[in-house]
Amino acid sequence: MAEHMKKGQNNDDMQESNRSLILRIMARDPICTRTQIAEETGLQQATITKIMQELLSVGVVTETGIVEGKKGRRSIGLKLNSESIKVIGVKISKDMIQVGLFDFCGKLYEKYTESTLNYNSVNRIVRHIKRAVNQILANHSDVFAMGIAVPGPFYKAENRILLMADRPGWTEVDFEAEAKRLQKELAAADVSDIEAIVRPCGLGKSKARDISACMNMLVDSYDCQVPDSLDELLKLPGVGRKSANLIMGDIYGKPAIVTDTHCIRLVNRMGLVDGIKDPKKVEMELWKLVPPDESNDFCHRLVDHGRSVCTARTKPHCDACCLSDICKKII
């Protein structure tokens, strides 16, 4: 069990490192391609495809259309949504706390700085951090994530700082517990406030109500933890089979088949299923064909293939397709 957990943690760390590497390249270049990223990083195409699909699904990256690559080869251009998605950064030092709002390229939009020299209570400092974070959330609806820089080695297994000179109280702070408390505060938000946040994404009152109900269920029934079973995920308001399978595969690394529009279109065109359009029925048929340990990568590859080769809005590029000899080309 311990070895399995260590391996899982190592895989998570590697995935995070690879994701950061890709994002740094995309922050540097206005438009890049998967091939360029592979050449610069040395990462496998399957690794890049999986990470890119994750970034595309949450809106961090968008596709810009066909671009000309080396030797006239055409590729899908990729662009980082650096200005439309923002992150909160928290820096804790010996005598000061700083909370700021940045975009993905480091541009600063809002900043709070406060001296903590006269504070003898770590809990008081934590309250000030949460107050600054809540103020930023009240002013901006496009916050994507939050990161915290701490002045000492961080013990990930226990979610706390291992050592901090002259500030022993910090070693007792459970950052996961503090994050849960903040999550509970967000779960208590009015539906109208949530609607204002999701409206720029084209979502309205119905989705805002689902988000509110989902957050409250996570707080009340799951101790602020997203469940790792399909049946439990499907109990969450607003979560269907597509989202549940995506969480199962990408977050928890469990077997999952995500039957989105690319998947349904391609498996019908290739003849893996026979004229089936219902997502659940397609999923059940694919389970008969796809090995469980390959299911998650299989779906990501379908999406990538559907976007770059077997396209929907233009004529599929069958001459460049690696599956041309076995595809039934059913229209």
Task: Provide the pLDDT for residue 168.
Answer: 62
Start-end of CATH 3.30.420.40 domains in the chain? 86-179
Task: Look up the CATH superfamily of 193-245.
Answer: Hypothetical protein; domain 2 (1.10.340.30)
CATH, domain range 2-80? 1.10.10.10
Q: How far is CA 42 from CA 49, 61, 69, 165, 188, in A?
A: 13, 20, 18, 40, 45
- Give the DSSP letter string of 60-102: SEEEEEEEE-GGG-EEEEEEE-TTTSEEEEEEE-SSEEEEEEE
- Is domain 246-331 given the CATH code 1.10.1670.10 in the classification? yes
- The residues assigned a catalytic role are 242, 260
Q: How far apart are CA 322 and CA 105, in angstroms?
A: 36
Q: How far is CA 6 from CA 11, 13, 157, 168, in A?
A: 9, 10, 10, 28
Both structure tokens of 83: 């200005």
Q: How far is CA 328 from CA 160, 265, 290, in A?
A: 55, 13, 18
Q: What is the pLDDT of residues 111-156, one digit of tens each?
A: 999 887 666 667 777 778 888 888 888 788 778 788 888 777 877 7
Task: Provide the pLDDT for residue 297.
Answer: 87
Which residues of the chain are under the pLDDT cut of 70? 1-12, 69-73, 117-121, 164-168, 182-183, 186, 331
Start-end of CATH 1.10.10.10 domains in the chain? 2-80
Task: Provide the pLDDT for residue 69.
Answer: 63
Task: Provide the pLDDT for residue 314.
Answer: 80
Both structure tokens of 45: 């195409």
- Give the DSSP letter string of 269-309: HHTSSSS---HHHHHHHHHTTS-GGGHHHHHHHHHHHHHHT
Tell me which architecture the domain covering 86-179 has in CATH: 2-Layer Sandwich (3.30)
What pTM value is reported for the model? 0.55
| Neighbour tally for 204: CB within 10 Å | 11
Start-end of CATH 1.10.340.30 domains in the chain? 193-245
Both structure tokens of 300: 């990501």
